[in-house]
Amino acid sequence: MKKLLLAGVSLGFIGAAPASAEILVGVAGPITGQYASFGAQMQAGAEQAVADINEAGGVNGEMLKLVVGDDACDPKQAVAVAQDFASQGVAFVAGHFCSGSSIPASAVYADEGIVEITPASTNPAFTDDRPGPGIYRVCGRDDQQGETAGNYLAKNFADAKVAIINDKTAYGKGLADQTQAAMEAAGKEPALVESYTAGEKDYSALISKLKTEGVTVLYVGGYHTEAGLMARQAQEQGMDLQIVSGDALVTDEYWAITGDAGEGTLMTFSPDPRQNEGAAPIVQKLEDAGKPTEGYVLYTYAALQAFKQAAESAGSADFDALTGALDEGEFSTVLGDLSFDDKGDVSLPGYVFYEWSDGKYTQMDSAMADTGASDDSDAANDNMEAEEAPAEAEESQAQ
């Protein structure tokens, strides 16, 4: 069902001036729950983008109206959010955050003719197995991220015992598996590979096992909440454990959990868009308003920029016109100039390393050279096998 979705106009006034119409756009993510800090990032980016777009005259003379959907990173709730967006007449969605939410929700969007651009869902299956056109991402993929992490671990911790663990989610297990594969391809075998249960508070048994096995480097395929507890509990046991993880640690909540136990934690994330010259005015606005600028704020902002430019290029927010413009166009965003390939993956560079220190994470300038990993997204996609999407929709999946 393809839709040109104009909200805010009653049926009795369809012939009214177009300037009175609103185009509904949505942002969907974990507004509540243990990953709510990421939902706050996405909402801040979406709100700022809509405000800036409307201040500049809207899209094709029509104002945007933002609708917020809370999926709590739950697959069933994500499908319900997508269905609610469809019933309201939403034309475009910046979301979702968790891959386990984005993947099932994308089937609804494809069926309903709603364009979805995720700022954050990195599981390869989101685009490799997308249910139809109109499904895109402005973030990287776990096969890219895992290649960067695996090469880094093999090169920089060649003589250390490295354990790789995952939280059994689409994001966490997929990322850990990709990291393990890349590390092994680079000639280093993990000392230990295990899964853990997300949401638990006590990981002391795991820490004790790592200590007994002589592990000094722990790669965590999972989220900041659990990784933070592991870092803190390792310190409490007197263990000097190097934590390495992925982009799910790009939130100040990680340091709030760890305190000084988080010092030196390493993580992969895309090059920091806050350093882009074109992003500076947006970052300043957000800071002046007391809103976050970290993590996926600017990725969400960029998703809405791409929507605006595509709709204006096509002269319409109609699904077919919009997807045609997104498939063929190049878009100027706070992330840099970007385009989408035939699967909906973005053309931006891949991943680099960051280090947590004194409550902040800072990009390591030499990380890409140290890993030996390619920063070309197409090469990474070609060289790494995509992980299978999670079969169980009931699981709370992650990014």
Confidence grade of residue 366 (pLDDT, cut at 50, 70, 90): low
Q: How large is the average pLDDT for residues 311-338?
A: 97
pTM of the model: 0.84
What per-residue confidence (pLDDT) applies to 383? 34
Burial class (CB in 10 A: 0-12, 13-18, 19+), 355: middle
What per-residue confidence (pLDDT) applies to 391? 34
384 close to 178: Cβ distance less than 8 angstroms: yes
Measured CA distances, 153 to 126, 150, 249, 380 (Å): 26, 5, 18, 17
- Which tokens in the block code for residue 207? 């820490």
254 close to 356: Cβ distance less than 8 angstroms: yes
Q: pLDDT digits over 135-169, tens only? A: 999 999 999 999 999 999 999 999 999 999 999 99
Q: Is 14 a residue whose pLDDT tops 90?
A: no
Confidence grade of residue 399 (pLDDT, cut at 50, 70, 90): low
Give all domains of the chain, ordered by start, each with its CATH number.
Answer: 6-10+19-140+274-338 (3.40.50.2300), 143-269+350-375 (3.40.50.2300)
Q: Which amino acid is at 333?
A: T
Q: Which residues make beta-bridge pairs with 244?
A: 219, 266
- Which tokens in the block code for residue 316? 């319409």
Q: Is 16 a residue whose pLDDT tops 70?
A: no
Q: Which long-range contacts (CB under 8 A, 24 or more apart) does 203-209 make?
A: 203/229, 203/230, 203/233, 204/233, 204/237, 206/165, 206/230, 207/233, 207/234, 207/237, 207/239, 207/241, 208/237
**Helices 170-185 and 142-156, packing angle to 10 deg:** 50
Q: Is 284 a residue whose pLDDT tops 90?
A: yes
What does the alpha-carbon distance between residue 338 and residue 210 come to, in Å, rounded to a whole number?
42
Confidence grade of residue 375 (pLDDT, cut at 50, 70, 90): very low
What per-residue confidence (pLDDT) applies to 365? 75
What per-residue confidence (pLDDT) applies to 311? 98
Look-up of token digits 């992330």? 335
62 close to 23: Cβ distance less than 8 angstroms: yes
What per-residue confidence (pLDDT) applies to 394? 35
Q: Is 20 a residue whose pLDDT tops 70?
A: no
Q: How large is the average pLDDT for residues 174-202?
A: 96
